[in-house]
Structure 1
Amino acid sequence: MTEITLHGARPVGAPRPRLGYAMVTAASTLFAVNGTVSKVILTNGGISSLRLTELRATGAFLGLAAFVLVTTPGRLRVTRDELPLLVFYGIVGFALVQWLYLVAIERLPIGIGLLLEFTAPVLVALWARLVWHEPVRRRVWAALALALSGLVLVGEVWEDVRLDTVGVVAGLLAAGALATYYLAGEHQTARRDALSLTCLSLGVAAVFWAVLQPWWGFPFDALGATVSLEGSLDAVDAPVWALCLWMIVLGTIVPFVLSLGALHHLPATRVATVSMIEVLLAALVAWVWLGETLSAAQLLGGAVVLVGVVLAQTSR
């Protein structure tokens, strides 16, 4: 990349780790708040998880596409040979990941739903070791053991009242889809930049949902309704369209751009590791806003899972 130097200033293209950490933290914070915003829409907004995923993917694609077309339109050109993998990546890595996550947080505390999804790096490391036969450090087995042990604590399997089965299955399937997102992303980012890849993948997801559930059946009347923000903000009302706009712009486009921008300043492994603060921040936001609480065993289990994920991140 050509570096542009201002007189007496640091080159524009020079990596700045502190900026990278700030960008990852900001992105994780926005994603964390978005979990609670999305749950309020799902609970009170009269929009199903399928339709909300469709709206999020389509809105984010249109926003990112507008930005790229104005700045560097040539980045969106697609060759015929990359199209099949791009379609697969957009459907599994974007459409299904987002939908399964919404199903999980609709039925589970947000922190637990996100924690289940974030076990994806463990699956990535295991795939690299067992299928691709990559040299992976032995700590991957410790990571797997910690992740499984932590999930047992999170699920409190010794209690009569267990977590919602559909929510747990959705969270684990989201982890599998997210692992696919990482693995296919490694291949795709060798061919094109991350911003255009994200934009095109969201476009695929938008088309996928439009075919599966055409827009003429979308509950547009629900967007005009006014709903309570629930929990500690129960006395505050907001229009559903405003919550959806927040979800698209501040809950998707901006954090995606920040995360991608951080990759210029920090290694991908470090970005992924730091971004795990989203789990903690999401649980904190849900506790302060919605009053969602976790037991001591679940908190301990979450910490154990996160340690396992860190080991998995650094095993490759």
Structure 2
Amino acid sequence: MPRPALGYAATVAAAWFFAVNGTVSTLVLQAGLPPTRLTALRCVGAAVGLLVVLAVAAPRRLRLTRREVPFLAVFGVVGVALTQFLYYVSIGRLPVGIALVFEMTAPVLIALYVWLVRGERVRSRLWAALLLSLSGLVFVAEVWRGGGSLDPLGVVAALAAAVCLATYYLMGERGTVNRDPVALTCWSFVAAGLFWSIAAPWWEFDAGLLAEPVPLSIGALELPLWALVAWIVVLGAMVPFWLSIAALRHLSPTTAGLVATVEPVLASVVAWLWVEQVLSGWQVLGGFVVLVGIGLAQTARATAVRAAVPQAVAPS
């Protein structure tokens, strides 16, 4: 029996883990680990973890045909590897909450894509969603301050991440027709891990860096870098992924996606309390307006969609 309260709780918990992961990732990037290497560690770690879990719990779900390989390769490289890399580039230059607001405009891009390219019928609320999202981003960027108060490269990276994330969702709709979302996401992380193993060869990585202490901005507390990376892999990827999947047993994908938009809010609060990333009043207002637009975009498609891929697993 579906239990909506449990679905809401799982979705919010997943958003909270992703929100904390944003600040943990910021500390790792500030410690000197490049975005390419952090992305590689997260993708490979999550791939190994998911492979082990499925191999023990449901090995038949890992079966793979040759015809699926090209799709999974593109899905993993664009939807996972590049989305996460661009996200890390953006939070290295922008407050975590603002980077997420830009990135989570993906549903607006999806609605425009299915209308312009696929010819799907969309509800008129799409135009309100587009107007609100663009207006909100103007406030978030504070463009009246001499071209904006945000780092341009960070904004470009966050918007590019939104494009990659939209690709992830659209391909996920297709992929889940023949595959369950757990196995699909597992293989997407495998593809992403293989991509980064080639793009950023492991023999070029000084593993001794993982033993370096990292200040946590909590008094004089420090942890070795490997401990923070382990958090990012387990509690910043695998655990929220499973929570997102579990929520879909009790909520529709659209509802889960709407609830998941709480992530930028939580991420901003965590970053403010932890590393004192303070947003201006205009940025807070703009973020709220964008989230309203995203909510409208989530429900703009007139055709029912089988979107079983969790709405938050790829980006953060």
Report the alpha carbon displacement of residue 49 of structure 1 after superposing the two structures with TM: 0.4
CA contact (8 A) 1:116 1:171 kept: yes
Post-superposition Cα deviations, 1:161-217, rounded to whole Å, max 9, x if no partner, equal 621011000000000000001100000011100000110000000000001111111
Counterpart for residue 281 of structure 1: 266
Matches within 5 A, 1:90-239: 90-160=76-146, 162-230=149-217, 233-239=218-224
Unaligned runs of 5+ in 2: 302-316
Report the alpha carbon displacement of residue 271 of structure 1 after superposing the two structures with TM: 0.7
Given residue 154 of structure 1, which amino acid in structure 2 is its aligned partner? Answer: V
Equivalenced residue count is 300
Unaligned runs of 5+ in 1: 1-13
SS in 2 for 1:90: helix
Post-superposition Cα deviations, 1:14-33, rounded to whole Å, max 9, x if no partner, equal 32211111110110000000
Given residue 33 of structure 1, which amino acid in structure 2 is its aligned partner? Answer: V
Post-superposition Cα deviations, 1:18-71, rounded to whole Å, max 9, x if no partner, equal 111111011000000000000000002x21000000000000110111000001
1:48 is the counterpart of 2:34 = yes
Q: 2: CA distance between counterparts of 1:281 and 1:266? A: 21
SS in 2 for 1:107: coil
Report the alpha carbon displacement of residue 219 of structure 1 after superposing the two structures with TM: 2.3
Considering only aligned residues, what root-mean-square deviation do their CA atoms show, in Å? 0.9
Moved more, 78-87 or 276-285: 78-87
CA contact (8 A) 1:110 1:286 kept: yes
1:23 is the counterpart of 2:10 = yes
Counterpart for residue 66 of structure 1: 52
1:256 is the counterpart of 2:203 = no
Counterpart for residue 314 of structure 2: none
Q: 2: CA distance between counterparts of 1:137 and 1:289? A: 41
CA contact (8 A) 1:273 1:313 kept: yes
Moved more, 261-270 or 200-209: 261-270
CA contact (8 A) 1:224 1:240 kept: yes
Q: 2: CA distance between counterparts of 1:235 and 1:158? A: 39
Given residue 253 of structure 1, which amino acid in structure 2 is its aligned partner? Answer: M
SS in 2 for 1:133: coil
Q: 1: CA distance between counterparts of 2:135 and 2:171? A: 28
Given residue 225 of structure 1, which amino acid in structure 2 is its aligned partner? Answer: E
CA contact (8 A) 1:47 1:219 kept: no
TM-score by length of 1: 0.93
Q: 1: CA distance between counterparts of 2:44 and 2:2? A: 32
Identical-residue share of aligned pairs (%): 53
Moved more, 284-293 or 76-85: 76-85
Q: 1: CA distance between counterparts of 2:92 and 2:176? A: 32
> Structure 1 residue runs of 4+, over 6 Å off?
none
Q: 2: CA distance between counterparts of 1:25 and 1:314? A: 19
Counterpart for residue 284 of structure 2: 299
CA contact (8 A) 1:24 1:258 kept: yes
1:315 is the counterpart of 2:289 = no
SS in 2 for 1:264: coil
Moved more, 165-174 or 255-264: 255-264
TM-score by length of 2: 0.93
Post-superposition Cα deviations, 1:228-270, rounded to whole Å, max 9, x if no partner, equal 112xx14211111111101100010000111011111110011
Q: 2: CA distance between counterparts of 1:90 and 1:264? A: 24
Q: Which of 1 and 2 has greater Rg?
A: 1
Matches within 5 A, 1:240-251: 240-251=225-236
SS in 1 for 2:223: strand
